[in-house]
Structure 1
Amino acid sequence: MSGIKFSGNRLRTCLLGEFERALELAGPVPRCIVDAGGYIGLVAILFAKRFPSARIICLEPSSDNFRVAARNCACFPNISVFHVALGGKRGTAVLRDRQTGEWGFTIAPVAAGEEYDELEMVGVISVRELMSEHNIESIDVLKLDVEGGEFEVLNDATDWLKVCKLLIVELHERIRPGVTAVYERATKGRIEVHADGEKRLSVLPVRGADY
């Protein structure tokens, strides 16, 4: 695919089934998919190819990654890419490099003694604000891979999780201690379909559904 910036392990894990269970749960015809922490657009493209009629919103805070994601996704008319971070409330934050690679940039606070580089100031938006700005009534899939920023997102999830059918989240306890407890509190009453290391799949209960 012309323009894609291949990053070996990340691309291979997408292609080798990292999201296969999520793709099954998202079907058959999701209307709105949000990819927060979109990196260079690989997962957005994966969903776009499986669900060409879905509206896909890809959010990426890094300017460099955003530019690559925008190029990679340009040939998919159902993907919109935005240079913004998902957080608990609207504002700005410092994007930091934790020395873990270009897919590991974070707006989360850095623990004392941890080495990092400050990259740039980025805009931040909450899920509810995103839904309001883009006239979204419900989210069929929210993929949340924001390197510790999920703490604030999930801590502000009392209303929007009620209209989020599938939550795909990577919990970075090593970056934000306590985030697992925040996730479990936020998703109480939902169905945990899959938990594999950092990745968790949480589904809004639907009567008669077989998970």
Structure 2
Amino acid sequence: MTVAVSDLFPVALADGRIISCTNPQDTMVWPSMWEGSPYDDGLAGLGAGDVVIDVGAHIGLTALYFTDRVPGLRVLSFEPARRTYACLADNAARLMPGVRAFDVALGAQPGRAELTFLPNHTMMATLVADDADDERNMAAVLDNFGVDDTAREEFWRGFRDGVERYPVQVTTLGDVLDEQDVEEVALLKVDVERAELPVLRGVRPDQWARFRHVVAEVHDVDGNLAAVVDLLSRQGFSTKVFQEDVFVGGSVHIVSARRAGA
């Protein structure tokens, strides 16, 4: 199913640029990115011509932030959700020279997988559905923002309205490096709602030396966080783990991993 640009929702950023969205909530994170983005550490040392791989690109705000901060980056952005990809592709074409959008998911092996998509919360699209973890994290967000009981009830009533499930194409990060002739990845950013470990397992052992820095949002469920840290450590990265204030009480952590000397 193809999504027409006319079906997208335009929202103006503070600087006047128009962002194509699935719904008005999509741009709510933009101001906070400029007040201490979890990806700032990954941008250190980047310059024009460097390659960034953005896995779980959503509508492209992170790619826009990267290219605003470091003009001239080459960004490969991956987003399998249909409506979200349509926004990403439109935003990249209009606003982000050097950004290429791909409508596939990344995983441990190529094939197809089922995507779960919440129209009211499109940033939570995932190949690894876990209702309990979703609810734990959203409850933490509501707590940390001090949302009152009335607003909470309204939020939960519409939380899963219109949920969609459909198959998407999956490729591996290793195949991406080969197909796009990428010899060095200055920054790998991963935000895929519990599917982080399969993304990393899609890199062949001989390819890891090409990566300078990895920043991944990792859900600490079923040993996922420890497994991600262990994999990156074994591949020669020094890692640090932290949690953003908004997710305190939830499972979401940030893993920042830098190769020695990078």
Q: TM class, shorter-chain normalised?
A: 0.7 to 0.9
The answer to whether residue 104 in structure 2 is matched with residue 84 in structure 1 is: yes
Q: Is the 8 A contact 2:237 2:259 kept in 1?
A: yes
8 Å contact 2:52–2:73 — kept in the other structure?
A: yes
Task: State the AA in 2 paired with 1:167.
Answer: V
Max Rg structure: 2
Contact in 2 for aligned 1:95/1:120 (Cα 8 Å): yes
- Shift in Å at residue 52 of structure 1? 2.2
Does structure 1 conserve the Cα–Cα contact (< 8 Å) formed by 2:46 and 2:186? no
Offset, 1:193: 4.7
Two-structure CA RMSD over aligned residues (Å): 2.6
Distance in 2 between residues matched to 1:99 and 1:77, nearest whole Å: 28
Equivalent residue number for residue 97 of structure 1: 117
Higher helix fraction (1 or 2): 2
Greater CA drift, 32-41 or 186-195:
186-195
Maintained 8 Å contact 1:142/1:164 = yes
Check if 1:195 corresponds to 2:237. Answer: no
- 1:27 shift after superposition: 2.1
Q: TM-score, with normalisation over the residues of structure 2?
A: 0.70
Deviations 1:95-130 (A, max 9, x none): 013688110110125479x99744221111111011
How far apart are 1:32 and its partner, in Å?
0.6
Deviation, 1:54, is 1.8
Closer, same or farther: CA 9–183 of 1 in aligned 2, 3 Å? same
What 5-or-longer segments of structure 2 have no aligned partner?
A: 1-16, 136-159, 245-252
Which runs of 5 or more residues in structure 1 are unaligned?
A: none
In structure 1, the residue matched to 2:174 is 128
Could you say which residue in structure 2 is the equivalent of 1:2? 18
Deviation readout 1:57-92 (Å, 9 max, x if unpaired): 010010100001111111322000110111111111
Partner deviation per Cα, 1:139-165 (whole Å, 9 max, x = no partner): 111100011111212334433332110
Which shifted more, 79-88 or 14-23?
A: 14-23
**C-alpha deviation, 1:132, in angstroms:** 0.8
3-state secondary structure, aligned to 1:200: strand
Normalising by the residue count of structure 1, what TM-score does the alignment of the two structures yield? Answer: 0.85
Q: Partner amino acid for 1:16? A: E
**Conserved in 2, the CA contact under 8 Å of 1:30 and 1:140?**
no
Partner SS for 1:74:
helix
Contact 2:108 2:199 in 1 (8 A): yes
Aligned to 2:226, which of 167, 171, 181?
A: 181
- What number of residue pairs does the alignment pair up? 204
Answering whether residue 229 of structure 2 is matched by residue 165 of structure 1, we say: no
Equivalence for 2:249: none
Decide whether the 8 Å contact of 1:138 with 1:163 is kept in 2.
yes
Which amino acid letter does the alignment assign opposite residue 201 of structure 1?
A: S
SS in 2 for 1:27: coil
Tell me the alpha carbon deviations over residues 39-60 of structure 1, each in whole angstroms, 9 at most, x when there is no partner.
Answer: 0000011111222222110100
Call closer, same or farther: CA 1:156–1:134 in 2, change over 3 Å: closer
Counterpart for residue 149 of structure 2:
none
Shift in Å, 1:181: 2.2
Give me the whole-angstrom Cα distance separating, in 1, the residues matched to 2:89 and 2:117: 21
Distance 1:79 1:99 in 2: 25
